[in-house]
Amino acid sequence: MEFRHGSLEEIVSACREQTLRYLRHEPSIDGFCFELLRRALCNRDDRAWQAVLSQYSPSVLAWVRHHPAAASVSEDDQYWVNRTFERLWSAIGADRFGHFEGLPSLLRYLKLCAFSVLQDAVRSNSANRQSYLDDDVADTVAAPDVERATVGRLTASELWRTVDGVLQDETERAVAHLSFVLDFQPREIYERHRDHFASVADVYRVKRNILDRLRRNPDVRAYLA
């Protein structure tokens, strides 16, 4: 089927089927779901948008529930779904949809929207939370400009794709999300994930390596300028 010429009903049905095939680790095609998102976000098609909500709300809830910060906030499921998709709708229209190469990049951005909503909730609930630094290693982390700018502008998809591109493994991705998206300090990350890090200094080391690479990255330099 030519994706753009199919009826909405055909696209929705095929998207569901291909998603199930993907979850069963069977060969699958991303184009149907990508077309559904295109119709919803570029054409502002209400019926397509409702199909997107039905298709991806469970994913949003799973991302939020499995995030280590979820235990610190108390909102109902509809709150996470509504706020996440509102952020997606506001951020991506016909003018920006072409920046995404395919379904995986769009779903990564949707996940980022969910984490950004979670970040806002955490910050709202812990506005007076005190930050603690490890005296033995605090002096070795000196990258305030890059980190503040990254945290402050993380909702820009172009910047986050650049950040994601410098991360080398899942440990770095976890530290980046917890640091830049949820604004956790290294001691908090260590306390929540002792099974992944030998010490607070180990978290600082990973974070420092990320920030050093970001400082050297020409795209980040251009963005911050």
**27 and 91 housed in the same domain:** yes
Longest dimension (CA), the chain: 62
Domain boundaries, position 31: 1-129
Q: Are residues 194 and 209 in the same domain?
A: yes
Question: Do 135 and 123 belong together in one domain?
Answer: no
Rg from Cα positions in the chain: 19
Two structure tokens written together for 44: 């502002």
Residue 176 and residue 120 in one domain: no
Shared domain for 74 and 150, answered yes or no, is: no
Q: If DSSP states are collapsed to H, E and C, what string results for the chain?
A: CCHHHCCHHHHHHHHHHHHHHHHCCCCCCCHHHHHHHHHHHCCCCHHHHHHHHHHHHHHHHHHHHCCCCHHHCCCCHHHHHHHHHHHHHHHCCHHHHCCCCCHHHHHHHHHHHHHHHHHHHHHHHCCCCCCCCCCCCHHHCCCHHHHHHHHHCCCCHHHHHHHHHHCCCHHHHHHHHHHHHCCCCHHHHHHHCCCCCCCHHHHHHHHHHHHHHHHHCHHHHHHHC
According to the model, what pLDDT value does residue 118 have? 87
124 and 225 assigned to the same domain: no
- Residues 12-69: pLDDT tens digits? 999 999 999 998 999 999 999 999 999 999 999 999 999 999 999 999 999 998 887 7
Domain boundary among 129, 146, 177: 129
Shared-domain flag, residues 13 and 108: yes
Q: Which of 129, 163, 187 is the last residue of a domain?
A: 129
- The predicted model scores a pTM of 0.59
Number of structural domains in the chain: 2
Same domain, yes or no, for 139 and 96? Answer: no
The domain boundary, picked from 96, 129, 162, lies at: 129
**Residues 121, 189: Cα–Cα separation, whole Å:** 18
Report pLDDT digits (tens) over 81-126: 999 999 999 989 999 999 888 999 999 999 989 988 888 888 776 5
Integer Cα distance of 197 and 206 in angstroms: 10
- Is residue 157 over pLDDT 70? no
pLDDT bin (cut points 50, 70, 90) of residue 146 is very low
79 and 142 fall within a common domain = no
Q: Are 178 and 184 in contact (CB under 8 A)?
A: yes
Quick one: 140 and 106 in the same domain? no
- Same domain, yes or no: 69 and 169: no
**Are 177 and 222 part of one and the same domain?**
yes
Q: How many CB atoms lie within 10 A of CB 181?
A: 22
